[in-house]
Amino acid sequence: MPPNSYVSAAAHDSYDVIIIGGAMMGAATAWFLTEQPDFDGRILVIDRDPTYQKCSTGHTNSCIRQQFSSALNVRISQFGAHFIQNLRHHMGGDDRVPHLKIQNYGYMYLADTQAGADALRASHAVQIAEGAQTRLLTPDRIAEAYPFYALDDIVLGSINTTDEGYWDYMAVFDCWRRSARERGVTFLAAEVVAINTGAGRVQSVTLATGERIACGQLVNASGPRAAITAAMVGIDLPVEPRKRYTWTFSAAQPLDRELPLTVDPSGVHFRQDGRDTYMAGAHSHIDPAVAPDDFEMDQSLWMDHVWPAIATRIPQFEAIRVLREWAGHYAMNSFDQNAITGPHPDLPNFLFLNGFSGHGLQQAPAMGRGTAEWLACGQYRTLDLTPFHFERIAAGTPYLETAII
C-alpha cells in the first residue's frame, strides 16, 4: 500500500476500534479483526508515518525461528510459519496473494560455556515438547555439516532447519493492508497527541489537528513509541527503543553452502542474505534506550566488534566488503523481554500490543489474531495469550524470555 492509500481525514467521528500504529502489528490486528464473525464494526488505523521510514517494520531483518525458551513463544512462531507458508489459503484463495516459503537455512546458536550449553539444552527440551525440529550438535557434528566455522571455543550448538530462516514480510504486510482496506478498514495519516478518558474507559483520541475521534476500544500498536502512547493515559509502560544495527556484505571467498543465522557468543549474529551475500547484526555493549527518531549509525561498531567477531568465527570471512548498513529499533520490554498484550486492568478498553523485543515481525500473525479475538469476543479463541497481559508488570512478576538476540 503506497502512502497515498492513507486518507488525510477520517470519514466518521466515531469508530468501534482505533488502532494507533499501522505497521506490522497494527495491520495484522486490523485484518484479523475483519475475519472475526462476531465483529462488524468500524476500524480506524492511525499512523503518524505512513511511509514506514521510522518504524521497526521498515528496518527489519525479516526472520522467523522456533528456538525460544518459553513454550508459548514456540507455538506463536509455529502459527506464524504456517500462516506465512499458507498465505493464500488464509486470505481466502485470493489469486493476487503469492505463495510464500521460508528460506530454511535455520538458526545456529553457539555456546562457549557450560552455562550457555545448559541454557541451550533447557530451551531444546521446551522446543521438542512443542514439536519443533531443533537439534543439539557437538562441535564435531557442527564441523561435519558446516566446516567453515572455527569451533575451538564452542561447547555446544543448537539448530533447527524446519520453519526457521528468512521470509518475505513485505508480501504479507502488503496483503494484510490491501485486504483490510478493501474490507472497509480506514488507514489515516495523522498523529495522536492525546487519549481522552472518562468513567474508567478510553472515550476518544485527539489528533495533532485538534480533531477528536471517539472509539469503543483502542489498541496501542505503536512499536518503539509504545510508552509514549501509554503515557497519554497515565500508564508507565517498560518499553523503550533500543538500537539494532545491520550490515549486508560480500566476501572475497563466498561459502560453498548456506550460512545459518548464526548467534555467536560474542553477541553478533550473521546469516545468508543473497546467493553470495550475507547479513550481520549487532548492538552496542551499553545498549541504552534511544529517541524513537534516532537512526544514526555507530561507525566504530563494525570495525571494533562486528567484523572481528565474524572473521574469528568464520576465517573465510577475513576479507569482506560492506554493501549496505542501517540502524533500526527493537521495541524492548525492559521488564522481561516478552510481549505485553491484552487490556489494562483499570482501563479495560485500552489494549496493549507492545514490547516484542525483536520478535514482533514473526509473531505478528498470532498476536494480530489473538488481539482481534479479544476485541471481538472478550477472550482468546486460539492461543491463550494471557501470560503476556499487563497484570504481570503491575505485580512485578516477570514472564521471562531468555532467547533474545
CA–centroid distance for 342 within its chain: 17
Nearest-CA neighbor of 359 among 384, 376, 336, 378? 336
The mean per-residue pLDDT over the stretch 320-340 comes to: 96
**pLDDT bracket for residue 161 (50, 70, 90):** very high
Which pLDDT belongs to residue 261?
Answer: 98
pLDDT digits (tens, 9 = 90+) for 232-273: 999 999 999 999 999 999 999 999 999 999 999 999 999 999
Q: Taking the CB of residue 400, how many other CB atoms lie within 10 A of it?
A: 12
Q: What is the mean pLDDT of the chain?
A: 96
pLDDT digits (tens, 9 = 90+) for 162-195: 999 999 999 999 999 999 999 999 999 999 999 9
pLDDT digits (tens, 9 = 90+) for 266-298: 999 999 999 999 999 999 989 999 999 999 999
Is the pLDDT reported for residue 3 higher than 90? no
Q: Are 403 and 261 in contact (CB under 8 A)?
A: no
Q: Which residue has the higher pLDDT, 70 or 54?
A: 70
Question: At residue 387, what is the residue type?
Answer: P
Which pLDDT belongs to residue 175?
Answer: 97
Nearest-CA neighbor of 83 among 204, 182, 168? 168
**What are the Cα distances from residue 152, in Å, to 139, 143, 393?**
8, 11, 42
Angle between helices 114-129 and 71-85 (to 10 degrees): 60
Q: Are 128 and 67 in contact (CB under 8 A)?
A: no
**pLDDT bracket for residue 56 (50, 70, 90):** confident
Which pLDDT belongs to residue 1?
Answer: 39
Distance CA 294, CA 323 (A): 22
**Confidence (pTM):** 0.95
Most distant CA pair in the chain: distance in Å?
66
Distance CA 165, CA 105 (A): 5
Question: Strand 107-111 relative to strand 156-160: parallel, antiparallel, unpaired?
Answer: antiparallel
DSSP-based three-state secondary structure for 292: coil
The percent of residues in the chain predicted with pLDDT above 90, rounded, is 94
Cell numbers given for 155:
561447547
Distance CA 142, CA 110 (A): 10
The H-or-E segment that residue 362 falls in is helix 360-377
**What are the Cα distances from residue 398, in Å, to 10, 63, 167, 229?**
39, 26, 31, 22
Question: Strand 14-20 relative to strand 212-220: parallel, antiparallel, unpaired?
Answer: parallel
The mean per-residue pLDDT over the stretch 211-227 comes to: 98
**pLDDT bracket for residue 59 (50, 70, 90):** confident
**pLDDT bracket for residue 2 (50, 70, 90):** very low
